[in-house]
């Protein structure tokens, strides 16, 4: 771009921003918008809002604003006037009224990378269609009869390669597990094959773009991610072509377990472009978040030996009973349902870890809530993390305490998967993944974190060092000691 062009562009952007800012100030006079401040024109308070902080805290920005203005306040974020909500009631109200009073509204940069047909950015009927397709892939029946075994298979594949006293990144291992699972079930790509490995690497570059500033200039993360998007689409397109050739081909092949791509191609009337965006974003949504969630579980458990002991007891009990019944076919749905304490650990991990800190919405009309006006067109950010870490909702919120879930009937103040018509389509799958992974993990290994590393909100969550751990294989001697402990505990 010419220098003068760049200057003109910058100049007009700033003028527009100042005009918008003035308009916003004027508008506020006539309405009772929540308290807060707009900060600088255009950038507003975005930089302060995005400042990295431990994901187990709500961050300085939220803490300061909440103490100054209350749980609902106004700010200027991502270049738009924004209502930020740390209020449980408002968060629920926003999510439940999707498509009526509010609507998903992600920054343009996300659309550039995930694609205009990705579920995160779609609204209305098209969103509903795609959602129904995705829910079908992860339906309860599919989970019970097919995905559970797939999850166990991929868990064993990863854990089976661990060696005594080996030091490695827990996050990398978790990613192998979740990515292999998704790649095999969505596009039939087998673990360990070069094409699978290179796709996994491509997604790392891709991820960096999703979260970076949307500056499309040579050398930026955003530019590289756009390139990655093309590469990934290329791979997926090839998979699609292969399938078309096979179905048009001479003889129908032996019935094999159909992957999601094949099913969507048959069942829906989506265009190729739409299918590609759907598959690309499902692969993405399906491994980034659950990788972090599993890594977090290992991180929190490392600091809570009592919880590990109780997990070992629970899972050894399940394993022993299966042995006694002569079942050798791997875990089934009944076993999963028996993992009660494990479910408490999963909930507590998601509450304290805050894998998704907040979501992006905008108001479709002027909305009133608790005496405040939310003007039409304004951005609205329900911040789940702030609710999860609020002492009024959760006693001693900064403590990892899985036992808090045992006799509580108020899990309604907990929404790690969002809610309403856009509730995470993979919520049940993610919980199943975590539970099965934990089952084999605590049965066979102990681990310790070898270098301090904390889950950090950038605002996407990452372990900067990948959480380095050392593992120790439990000998059958240790196993029998634990079994004995469990037998005496339940026997007395």
From 54, 2, 159, select the one nearest 385 (Cα to Cα). 54
Question: CB under 6 A: which stretch of 4-12, 151-159, 329-337, 419-427 binds ligand HEM?
Answer: 419-427
From 387, 383, 382, select the one nearest 412 (Cα to Cα). 387
Instruction: Report the b/e string of 34-51 with b at 16+ CB within 10 A.
Output: bebebbebbebbbebbbe
Select from ligand NAG, ligand HEM, none the partner in contact with residue 290, using the beta carbon and a kind-dependent cut-off of 5 to 8 Å. ligand HEM
Q: Is 57 helix (H, G, I), strand (E, B) or coil?
A: coil
Tell me which residues in 267-286 interact with ligand HEM (CB under 6 A): 282, 285-286
CB 83 within 8 A of CB 377: no
End-to-end CA distance of the chain: 78
Nearer to ligand NAG, 81 or 418 (CB): 418
Select from ligand NAG, ligand HEM, none the partner in contact with residue 289, using the beta carbon and a kind-dependent cut-off of 5 to 8 Å. ligand HEM
Structure tokens at 378: 């304004």
Give residue number: closest CB to ligand HEM.
426
Select from ligand NAG, ligand HEM, none the partner in contact with residue 430, using the beta carbon and a kind-dependent cut-off of 5 to 8 Å. ligand HEM
Select from ligand NAG, ligand HEM, none the partner in contact with residue 409, using the beta carbon and a kind-dependent cut-off of 5 to 8 Å. ligand NAG
Residues 6+ apart with CB under 8 A from 318: 331, 335, 338, 339, 439
From 287, 275, 262, select the one nearest 187 (Cα to Cα). 262
Radius of gyration (Cα) for the chain, nearest Å?
Answer: 24
Structure tokens at 71: 């749980």
Pairing of strands 379-382, 80-85: parallel
Mask: binding to ligand NAG, 336-365, rule CB under 6 A, as x and -? Answer: -------xx--x------------------
From 184, 102, 113, select the one nearest 151 (Cα to Cα). 184
* Site for ligand NAG contains 479 (CB under 6 A): yes
Structure tokens at 487: 């037998």
Select from ligand NAG, ligand HEM, none the partner in contact with residue 218, using the beta carbon and a kind-dependent cut-off of 5 to 8 Å. none
* Site for ligand HEM contains 422 (CB under 6 A): yes
Choosing from 214, 426, 455, 459, the residue that interacts with ligand HEM (CB under 6 A) is: 426
Tell me which residues in 384-443 interact with ligand NAG (CB under 6 A): 393-395, 404-405, 408-411, 413-414, 440, 443
Cα 288 from Cα 9, distance rounded (Å): 36
Nearer to ligand HEM, 378 or 417 (CB): 417
Question: CB under 6 A: which stretch of 71-79, 84-92, 315-323, 426-434 binds ligand HEM?
Answer: 426-434
Cα 183 from Cα 157, distance rounded (Å): 14
**Least separation, in Å, of the C-beta of 185 and ligand HEM?**
9
**Least separation, in Å, of the C-beta of 96 and ligand HEM?**
12
Question: CB under 6 A: which stretch of 198-206, 353-361, 403-411, 479-487 binds ligand HEM?
Answer: 353-361
Which residue is listed with tokens 């997926």? 236
* Site for ligand HEM contains 359 (CB under 6 A): yes
∠ CA 98-49-411 to the nearest 5 degrees? 50
Residue 424 assigned to a binding site: yes
Residue ranges for the known binding site for heme are: 424
- The contact set with ligand NAG (CB under 6 A) reads 156, 159-160, 343-344, 347, 393-395, 404-405, 408-411, 413-414, 440, 443-444, 475, 477, 479
């Amino acid at each position: 771009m010419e220098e003068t062009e760049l200057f003109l562009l910058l100049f007009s952007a700033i003028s527009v921003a100042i005009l918008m800012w003035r308009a916003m100030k004027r508008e506020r006079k006539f309405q009772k918008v929540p308290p807060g401040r707009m900060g600088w024109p255009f950038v507003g308070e975005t930089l302060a809002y995005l400042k990295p902080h431990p994901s187990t805290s709500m961050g300085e920005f939220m803490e300061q604003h909440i103490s100054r203005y209350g749980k609902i306040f106004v700010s200027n974020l991502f270049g738009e006037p924004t209502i930020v909500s740390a209020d449980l009631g408002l968060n629920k109200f926003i999510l439940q009224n999707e498509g009526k009073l509010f609507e998903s509204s992600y920054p343009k940069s996300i659309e550039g990378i995930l694609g205009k047909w990705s579920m995160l950015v779609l609204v209305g009927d098209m969103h509903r269609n795609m959602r129904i397709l995705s829910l079908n892939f992860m339906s309860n029946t599919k989970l019970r009869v097919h995905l559970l075994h797939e999850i166990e298979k991929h868990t064993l594949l990863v854990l089976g390669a661990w060696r005594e006293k080996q030091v490695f990144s827990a996050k990398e291992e978790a990613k192998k597990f979740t990515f292999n699972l998704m790649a095999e079930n969505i596009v039939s790509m087998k673990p360990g094959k070069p094409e699978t490995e290179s796709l996994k690497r491509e997604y790392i570059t891709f991820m960096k773009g999703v979260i970076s500033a949307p500056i499309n200039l040579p050398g930026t993360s955003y530019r590289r991610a756009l390139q990655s998007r093309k590469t990934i689409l290329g791979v997926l397109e090839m998979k699609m072509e292969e399938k078309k050739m096979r179905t048009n081909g001479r003889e129908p092949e032996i019935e094999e377990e159909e992957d999601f791509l094949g099913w969507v191609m048959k069942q829906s009337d989506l265009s190729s472009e739409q299918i590609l965006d759907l598959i690309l974003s499902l692969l993405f949504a399906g491994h980034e978040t659950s990788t972090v969630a599993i890594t977090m579980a290992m991180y929190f458990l490392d600091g809570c030996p009592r919880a590990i002991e109780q997990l070992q007891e629970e899972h050894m009990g399940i394993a022993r009973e299966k042995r006694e019944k002569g079942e050798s076919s791997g875990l089934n749905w009944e076993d999963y349902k028996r993992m009660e304490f494990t479910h408490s650990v999963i909930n507590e991990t998601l509450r304290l870890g805050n894998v998704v800190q907040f979501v992006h919405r905008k108001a479709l009309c002027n909305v009133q809530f608790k005496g405040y006006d939310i003007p039409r067109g304004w951005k609205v950010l329900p911040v789940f993390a702030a609710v999860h870490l609020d002492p009024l909702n959760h006693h001693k919120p900064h403590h990892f305490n899985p036992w808090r879930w045992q006799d509580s009937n108020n899990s309604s103040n907990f929404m790690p998967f969002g809610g309403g018509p856009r509730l995470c389509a993979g919520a049940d799958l993610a919980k199943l993944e975590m539970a099965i992974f934990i089952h084999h993990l605590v049965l066979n290994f102990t681990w310790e974190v070898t270098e301090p590393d904390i889950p950090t909100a950038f605002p996407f969550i990452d372990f900067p060092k990948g959480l380095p751990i050392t593992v120790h294989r439990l000998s059958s001697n240790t196993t029998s000691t634990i079994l004995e402990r469990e037998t005496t505990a339940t026997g007395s």
